[in-house]
Chains A and B, each alone.
Chain A
Amino acid sequence: MSHREAVSASLETNIQEMTRRFGEDGTLLQRQFEPVSKRGGGLQCCLFCIDGMVNSALINDSIIRPVVLLEQPVPEDTDPILFLERQVMQTNEIRRVSKFSELMPRLLYGDTVVFCQGSKQALVIGSKGFVKRGVTEPPNEPYLKGPREGFTEPLLHNLAMLRRKLRTENLRYEYFSLGDTSGTACCLCYLEDVVDRRALAELRLRLSKVRIDGVMDSNYVAELISDSHLAPVRTTGTTERPDVVAAKLLEGRIALVVDGSPVVVTVPHILLELFQAGEDYYVNYTFAGINRILRIMGFFLSISVAPIYLALVGYHQELLPLPLLLSISQATQGVPFPAMVEVLLLLFQFEVLREAGSRTTSSLGQTLSVVGGLVIGQSAVEAKMVAAPTLIIVAFSGITGLIAPKLKSAVFLSRLLLILLANFYGIYGYFIGLVLLLAWVARLRSFGVPMLSGLPLSRKSSGEDSYLRPPFRMMKKFGRFLAGWGRSQV
């Protein structure tokens, strides 16, 4: 059944069109109204809005009330809609449309549509009033020091938070919608004067190619526009913190805000960002440097401890001090499985507990960790299902993996690859695996920027703000090495 596209001059036709489009939908509210006074005679209006998504007080006070109490006739030769917009409506967000396709998305997103008898246009009045989550600290990125606010779901709120951080006219917002069915509103944010123009052009190109029915979260888009789908590390950054996004915009990056998602995607994204935390810049630089080194070490320990353990106990026993070798031998007596099976079993258990813990309430999560970590682990050792040294190694490997939560999936996959290589080929296999991973990451690019940018690997790179966070007075580039500004100025 085809729909009428243009708004009709007949109010009745427009009402019928709306009724036909929404059918039996009970959430569509319709209200016809007209001036009480004879002096305002001739003006017949009808508004449509979606129940639960609108601010009723605003509609009553600023839309219906001024019309009902109108004591001034519509001037002749004047479109009634234009008259309403200019002289009657008491709202700040208002626009005229002449097509149903233009008004429908807005109506569905909490705006109010007003039709008027005799006008081929309709008014779309901003009246969003749906229930929103309050601004809270993101649970996945908690800070001890620094701003506590995090993004929420509504797009405009998130953009307002960004605007508050960057009060410059160079901050650009580019709106567009994604999702053939969902029509999700999205926004590209960047600073006009520092943005990496090549990355911006590339991002626009990739976004224009996105074809998807619905976008429920920014990760839908991030995955569709990412450089490599098989890469061990993400080529797009994500954060729930406005301060982090603002800082990244200042460095020349581009942020992609998707309506309905508190997670903002930033590009280009380099490897170093995975080890950086916003809090690094809110605490003393020495402490921040130590924390950053701990994160880097934690990552390498997490992917290396278990493979190196397997290589040592399986192939290179001469590298173990004798008391340790004897202690490990003693502990593995009577254990039926080879070391690799023990490691894989325990890692599987650890991942199961982590996943279960993250899906349950915090109180149950604590119980899970106690039951999983202490009871099951201890019982498995006592039952000689696994050896105590293996349990210690896997527990250490698991805990160090939590230091850099952004690398969770990278840690899991890299560790698995290295465990297999180390088990079958010893320390030699471990190093081959490490070289392969490094080569893969070195080959990756994020919107044209190499993933290993920023590391002090060449003379051109100063390595500023890489392994350590220098004091602010010593920072010269403030991370702009990858931005257009950086390329031309430095």
Chain B
Amino acid sequence: MKRFLCISLSICILLTCTGCRDREENDNLTVVAGIGVDGINGSYRLTTETLVAGGESEGGKRLITKSSGVTLNGALLETANLTAQQLYYTHAQTMVVSRDLARNGLEPLLQALERQNSFRLSLRILVAQDSAEALLSLKKPQEDAASFQLRSMADTSWHNATSPDTALYQFLADAGEPGIQGILPLAGLRTEGEEQAMEILGTALFRDYTMVGTLNDTDSQALLWMREGAAGGLLEDQNLALTVVRCHSKITCAPEGGKIKLTLELQELEGTGEAEDLEQRAKELAKQRCQRVLQHLSELNCDAIGLGQRLMHMHPGESKRVRTAWSQQFSRYPVDLQVEVEIRDQGRIKEEKK
């Protein structure tokens, strides 16, 4: 009997850890697809894209709610009041921040977001060329959610190495880690006749949490080759169009202020071009683009490639230098860039018809 009572009591105590008060019938829930944040006069302007079951669209009815607050929590609370529904943020896939807000620094916003346990850390972050509100409000109510489309576009762009696809946890890790800076995809609006459409423009470069510059899609390819060894991207010239199928980026560093050697191996290229000196021309083209990006990063004092991190990993003695003022020192560090290009199955490369 004593044993039975002990077991029963233990179970009762355990069961109080959860309970029916957490229960929510899912037809009362409003699923948030994504949010956009603009900074206006020191406060946040929040654009929330929600999906409500019951619309004509397969994904539910799409609603845009606009609210504002001095803090993110205040803006979220106002959104909940305006919609009069239980907002469900766990399935939110995208957060768009405006360029102005990014230039002023994302640290307070992202840390508030990190503390909000209702968002997933896999939430994708994008920087809007103009305002986040304009991007999310662009689509008509019956169309699919803009947040989902932005997420798909960022994903596709990353596969083509034309922009990064950065989750919240990745950006927070990069921004908090010495020797590497965070990068985010840059999205904007393109005018097609009388209509506007969303597009991924390239990469937004950050120093810590503050946006310091941008790269177009071509330069983004070179950055992603060097930073992540990302496959994809196009080496394009007047007589050359090669897709990078495999890429390998290797960074070696000499100690005590020596050179940083960055070896980039572009392998298994396929496409069209004149067979003569194809590898050499591709190599020169790739090197030229990488050097341009390195130059740009030096000017911005933004180590988006992660050279400092690599230096610190290989030579722990250098970590003090990297941790203290790497952004200033990065531009003065000599980088020996070597690009290797290997075109496999050259017989498959076709010359363009003249």
Q: What does DSSP make chain B's interface, helix, strand, loop or mixed? A: loop
Is the contact region of chain A dominated by helix, strand, or loop, or is it mixed?
Answer: helix
**Using an 8 Å CB-CB cutoff, how does the interface string of B23-56 with A read, 1 for contact, 0 for none?**
1111101010000000000000000000101100
Contact A329 B15 (CB under 8 A): no
Chain B proximity of A178: nearest CB distance (Å): 34
In the complex where A315-B23, A329-B53 touch, is A425 in contact with B15 (Cβ < 8 A)? Answer: yes
Per-position binary interface string of chain B over residues 140-157, scored 1 when its CB falls under 8 Å from any chain A CB and 0 otherwise: 000000000000000000
B27 touches A335 (CB 8 A): yes
Q: When each residue 322-348 of chain A gets 1 if its CB lies under 8 Å from chain B and 0 otherwise, what string results? A: 110110111011010011000000000
Chain A residues whose CB sits within 8 angstroms of the CB of B249 once the complex forms: none
- B17 contacts partner chain A, Cβ-Cβ < 8 Å: yes
**A323's closest neighbor in chain B, by CB?**
B59
B23 x A318 contact (CB < 8 A): no
Tally chain A residues at the interface, Cβ within 8 Å.
Answer: 25
B84 in the interface, Cβ–Cβ < 8 Å?
Answer: no
Task: Please tell me which one of the listed residues B15, B25, B60, B88 contacts residue A330 in the complex, with CB atoms under 8 A apart.
Answer: B60
A424 interface residue per 8 A CB criterion:
yes
Considering only CB atoms, which chain A residue lies closest to B92 in the complex? A322
- Asked if B14 contacts A432 (CB within 8 A), the reply is yes
Q: Determine whether the beta carbon of B25 is less than 8 Å from that of A326.
A: no
A residues within 8 A CB of B26? 313-314, 317, 325, 328-329, 332
> Residue B20 at the A interface, CB < 8 A?
yes
* Complex contact B25–A332 (CB within 8 A): yes
A80 in contact (CB, < 8 A): no
- Identify which of B11, B24, B51, B53 gathers the most chain A CB atoms within 10 Å of its CB: B53
Contact A425 B25 (CB under 8 A): no
Question: Nearest-CB distance from A307 to chain B (Å)?
Answer: 14
The 8 Å CB contact of A424, one of B19, B51, B59, B91, is B19
Contact A317 B15 (CB under 8 A): no
Find B23's partner among A314, A326, A329 (CB 8 Å cutoff).
Answer: A314
Q: Are A424 and B90 in contact (CB under 8 A)?
A: no
Q: For the complex, is A429 an interface residue (Cβ under 8 Å from B)?
A: yes
Please tell me if B192 contacts chain A, counting CB pairs below 8 Å.
no
A333 to B28, CA, bound (A): 9
B345 on interface, CB distance cutoff 8 Å: no
B300 to chain A, nearest CB (A): 37
Report if A130 contacts B (CB, 8 A): no
A426 within 8 A of partner (CB): yes
List of A residues within 8 angstroms of B27 by Cβ: 329, 332-333, 335
Cross-chain contact B20 with A424 (CB below 8 angstroms) = yes
Interface residues on B, range: 20 to 34
> Does chain A have a CB within 8 A of B299?
no
As a 0/1 sequence over residues 393 to 431 of chain A, the CB contacts with chain B under 8 angstroms (1 = contact) are 000000000000000000000000000000111101100
Which residue of the partner chain B has the closest CB to A436?
A: B11
Cβ-defined contact, B54 with A333, below 8 A: yes
Cβ of B256 within 8 Å of any chain A Cβ, yes or no, is no
Contact status of A317 and B59, CB under 8 A, knowing A329-B26, A335-B27, A429-B18: no
Mark interface residues in B43-78 (1 if CB within 8 Å of A CB, else 0). 000000001011000011000000000000000000
Also in contact, A325 and B54, with CB within 8 A (given A425-B18, A429-B15): no
B29 contacts A329, C-beta separation under 8 Å: yes
For the complex, give the distance between the alpha carbons of A315 and B11 in Å.
Answer: 20
With a cutoff of 8 Å between Cβ atoms, the chain B residues found around residue A326 in the complex are 31, 51, 53, 59-60
CA distance A330 to B59 in the complex (A): 9
Interface CB pairs A-B, < 8 A, 11:
A314-B26, A315-B23, A315-B24, A317-B26, A317-B88, A317-B90, A326-B59, A329-B29, A330-B54, A332-B27, A432-B11
Known contacts A318-B91, A323-B59, A330-B60; 19 additional CB pairs below 8 A are A314-B24, A315-B24, A326-B31, A326-B60, A329-B29, A329-B31, A329-B60, A330-B54, A332-B27, A333-B54, A335-B27, A338-B25, A424-B19, A425-B15, A425-B19, A428-B15, A428-B18, A432-B15, A436-B11
**Which A positions have Cβ atoms within 8 angstroms of B?**
313-315, 317-318, 322-323, 325-326, 328-330, 332-333, 335, 338-339, 423-426, 428-429, 432, 436
User: B residues engaging A (CB < 8 A)?
Assistant: 11, 14-15, 17-20, 22-27, 29, 31, 51, 53-54, 59-60, 88, 90-91, 93, 120
Lowest 9 CB-CB distances: which A-B pairs, in order? Answer: A329-B53, A318-B90, A330-B53, A332-B27, A314-B23, A322-B91, A428-B18, A326-B60, A424-B20
